[in-house]
Amino acid sequence: MTPDKRSDYWKANLRLLTILLIIWFVVSYGFGILLVEPLNAIQIGGYPLGFWFAQQGSIYTFLVLIFVYATSMNKLDQKFDVGED
């Protein structure tokens, strides 16, 4: 792999990580702590939405982000021809 291609691969990887970490932060800290009172006005499954995000939603979001990261990295690896296959 050429140095330019390696640099582009690393930039794409960092961009993906940054986006996913921002989403994780917004959901876990923003929805679960900062915006809990306004979200509690909405009910989901009989529980206030703010409570749900603090207890369940941030965990579910984190699990989804893991799968998104794995899938995105596989595509990125194929794009830059550094896949494991």
**Is residue 84, in this structure, part of any structural domain at all?**
no
Per the structure, the count of domains in the chain is 1
Q: Which structural domain range is residue 25 located in?
A: 3-79
Which segments of the chain are extended strands (E)?
A: 43-44, 47-48
What does the pLDDT read at residue 2?
A: 85
**Is residue 85, in this structure, part of any structural domain at all?**
no
What does the pLDDT read at residue 85?
A: 66
What does the pLDDT read at residue 76?
A: 94
**Is residue 36, in this structure, part of any structural domain at all?**
yes
What does the pLDDT read at residue 69?
A: 97
Side-chain-facing half-sphere of 10: CA atoms under 13 Å: 7
Angle at 22 between CA 24 and CA 54, to 5 degrees: 30
Written as tens digits, the pLDDT of the chain (85 aa) is 788 999 999 999 999 999 999 999 999 889 888 988 999 999 988 889 888 888 888 899 999 999 999 999 999 999 998 877 6
Single pTM value for the model = 0.82
**Is residue 23, in this structure, part of any structural domain at all?**
yes
